[in-house]
């Protein structure tokens, strides 16, 4: 049997095995994360929409006071595409992501952003109109974060919000956006954090506290 043929067969077998195992792993991650988010937010109604096989899901929750609605997305690394996975993870710098937009009943006007510095610098998490904002770096035990704001009054709000996260929760935080004029928070978390439920509960407690604090 020709060596070239054996190489082709071996590569095909490796790719198919990776497709099966990687796809199964992504499904496990998606189901686990969605269960955890449901446990924390306790939606009164929910809708899930697949966004491409084992890539991820969009979901919408109707929530009780002081929240109104949550729009979320869970996306995963292409573990099923074993030849592309190293490029995605190491060259592009992608990771699994849990993105939440939580609409509240009332927030004070203003806009500000807290972004993990590494992902802000490499562009994996971008902030619209960041060049027009004030910017500073705040060091946490888990690593540095960039704060961005227009109105200096929002700086105090951002400092306070970041300080509310424990070391454990800060490790899982990638981005927190405050959109007071539109009554919502935008949050990006690392879904594979080993204590994701605790991270989510701290984030939820923070969002509940902000309207009373400011």
Express each pLDDT in 14-54 by its tens digit.
345 445 466 688 889 999 999 999 999 999 999 999 987 77
**Residue count of the chain:** 214
Count: domains in the chain: 1
Block residue for tokens 């080993």:
194
What is the mean pLDDT of the segment spanning 162-175? 96
The strands making up 67-75's β-sheet, listed across from edge to edge, are 45-50, 56-62, 67-75, 97-104, 184-189, 173-179, 111-116, 143-149, 134-140
Residues 207 and 183: beta-carbon distance below 8 Å? no
Domain containing residue 103: 3-213
pTM: 0.85
For the chain, report the end-to-end CA distance as a whole number of angstroms.
74
């Amino acid at each position: 049997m020709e060596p070239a043929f054996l190489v082709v067969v071996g590569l095909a077998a490796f790719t198919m095995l990776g497709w099966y195992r990687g796809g199964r792993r992504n499904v496990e991650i998606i189901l686990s994360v969605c269960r955890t988010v449901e446990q924390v937010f306790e939606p009164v109604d929910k809708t899930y929409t697949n966004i491409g096989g084992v890539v991820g899901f969009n979901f919408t929750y109707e929530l009780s006071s002081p929240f109104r609605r949550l729009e979320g997305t869970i996306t995963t690394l292409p573990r099923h595409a074993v030849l592309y996975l190293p490029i995605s993870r190491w060259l592009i710098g992608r990771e699994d992501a849990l993105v939440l937009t939580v609409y509240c009943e009332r927030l004070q006007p203003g806009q500000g952003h807290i972004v993990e510095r590494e992902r802000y610098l490499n562009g994996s998490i971008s902030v619209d109109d960041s060049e027009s904002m004030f910017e500073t770096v705040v060091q946490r035990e888990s690593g540095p974060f960039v704060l961005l704001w227009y109105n200096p009054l929002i700086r105090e709000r951002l400092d306070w919000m970041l300080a509310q996260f424990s070391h454990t929760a800060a490790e899982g935080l990638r981005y927190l956006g405050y959109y007071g004029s539109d009554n919502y928070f935008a949050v990006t978390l690392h879904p594979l954090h080993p204590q994701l439920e605790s991270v989510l509960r701290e984030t939820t407690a923070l969002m509940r506290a902000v309207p009373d604090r400011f």
